[in-house]
Structure 1
């Protein structure tokens, strides 16, 4: 069946005009005349049966439908360009996987291990993008995600299946300057120190104090950071105590930039998962998944630190 799609040139002209809010600037970018861009956008509106732009006293502006369509078209053109560059770079050889990952896990755990993947599967390329929250795979151009969460959160991620990779253990850490003689303190002592919060885990400190049997009225107070790498940097700077996954701060602990604030690690419901759309699995993703399972099994068998 023939696909009902507008021409690529019409979509490129529309996307550029929408981004610049100007036909003339879109024409300069695309090395076309303003009239050519205008005709392509008019043809697209005719094809769709929907007005994408409206005239204003200052020029042109997107209609609500045009603004929504521009967001969708921009994402898909970017994905098409990425796939094209990827294919050209590989010259048709090998395969690739586009993987979303939480940023700190990527930089601290995944990337240092990728040379081993390259040695085993030299033709397999892994492209990484960052995501801190669940997303819809069909709208993203991503094939899988390395994500940390609970089984309940996974059940709320529609149309996906997950492979459990690593259990997560969290531990309070801070600059040695905040601790008497740089040594760990009892859990109750942490309740009076500044607490650094993770914006994607607002109740993490409350759960930790409850597990220690400590009352902490201000467990959810303190500056919030979206990324664990930001939280680690804030802890190193002496801004407070961070509740960090132990696998993400091994280097800082070894260098003495961070110290264990209280020797009471907590293993909760959270774990690291490989999440992928529920459907057929490409061979490239299957190879990556098998390697991740093997790497995580080896990491879990090592002693802490």
Structure 2
């Protein structure tokens, strides 16, 4: 099949860069300064692009420019395309052998568990570069330029393969001062204090209370988007946070956090490494998968 496209549908990156800069700054002058070109050169490139597309991208008003509706939609698409080209070019330059892994991570797991171990990985695989991006929930590998992800949840990710990394134990934690203030003695006592939850795990406290044979809801709740902020709030005495013990070992050891009650439970969900099937043979992914599975097994 002949996949050749008409030239007007494949403008040069120089034309696209001039248009994107002008669209972002709403100024030919600022775009020219950013691109180290003259104003007339930027204007010519934009005019040439409009001619190729046969669409007016800017409305000219005296000495100013304003995106048309078509120009605004086109700018959105072009900006993302240029970002992907820039990222791909950076990756090739950083590692010409193609040893790059684009990995999505959970913020606290990434900073507390993964990051301290990465020097070991790089020592064993000096030719591989890992680019990290934060993702808190499911995403579509078909539209996100990522090779794999660290995921917490059920073993369920359509169109992807998964390898179990580890389970977790969670325990109610708080500041020493808050524990003394409420004098927690039994599981039901925690309902007297503000409870701190994670927005991606709205049912975690209910699971904990259910495990203690307590029904009827979890009382006053305050939600955070990450474990790190919930832990900080707990250390400040804001409330009681249900946190994974393996992520707060230092805080428990130095007394910044204490167990409100020594009643841990194992979370129903697990941590997984997830990757799209079509990336299964990607060498950096294979190297990272083997390494991280060995690390998590040793940690367990």
TM-score by length of 1: 0.86
Moved more, 139-148 or 1-10: 1-10
| 8 Å contact kept, 1:146–1:273 | yes
Residue 150 of structure 1: how far off its partner (Å): 2.1
Relative to structure 1, the CA distance from residue 62 to residue 207 in structure 2 (aligned partners, 3 Å threshold; closer, same or farther) is: farther
Does residue 294 of structure 2 align to residue 294 of structure 1?
A: yes
Q: What is the alpha-carbon distance in structure 2 between the residues aligned to residue 250 and residue 126 of structure 1? A: 26
Question: Could you say what secondary structure the match of 2:167 adopts?
Answer: strand
Q: Find the aligned partners of 1:167 and 1:257 in 2 and give their Cα distance.
A: 24
Counterpart CA distance in 1 for 2:49 and 2:153 is: 43
Q: In 2, Cα distance between the equivalents of 1:15 and 1:34?
A: 14
Q: 1:32 pairs with 30, 37, 61, which one?
A: 37
Aligned to 1:167: 167
CA RMSD of superposed structures (Å): 2.5
1:101–1:147 CA contact under 8 A, matched in 2: yes
Q: Is the 8 A contact 2:99 2:129 kept in 1?
A: yes
Query: Alpha-carbon deviations, 1:69-90, whole Å to 9, x = none?
Result: 3233223323332333333334
Q: Which whole-Å deviations, capped at 9, do the CAs of 1:243-277 have from their partners, x for residues lacking one?
A: 11222111111111111112222223321111222
Distance apart, 1:29 and its partner CA = 0.7
For the pair 1:8 / 2:13, whether they are aligned, the reply is yes
Give 1:184 deviation, angstroms.
6.4
Larger Rg: 2
Contact 2:147–2:279, Cα closer than 8 Å, also in 1: no
Q: Which position in structure 1 is the counterpart of 2:123?
A: 119
Q: In 1, are the aligned partners of 2:99 and 2:283 still within 8 Å (CA)?
A: no
Residues 182 and 259 in structure 1, CA contact (< 8 A), matched pair in contact too = no
Of 71-80 and 165-174, more deviation after overlay is shown by: 71-80
Deviations 1:212-249 (A, max 9, x none): 22245454x43321111111111111111111122211
Matched, 1:102 2:106: yes
Mapped partners of 2:68, 2:213: distance in 1: 56
| Alpha-carbon spacing, 1:85–1:133, altered in 2? closer, same or farther (3 Å) | same
Aligned residues: 294
CA distance in 1, matches of 2:287, 2:168: 24
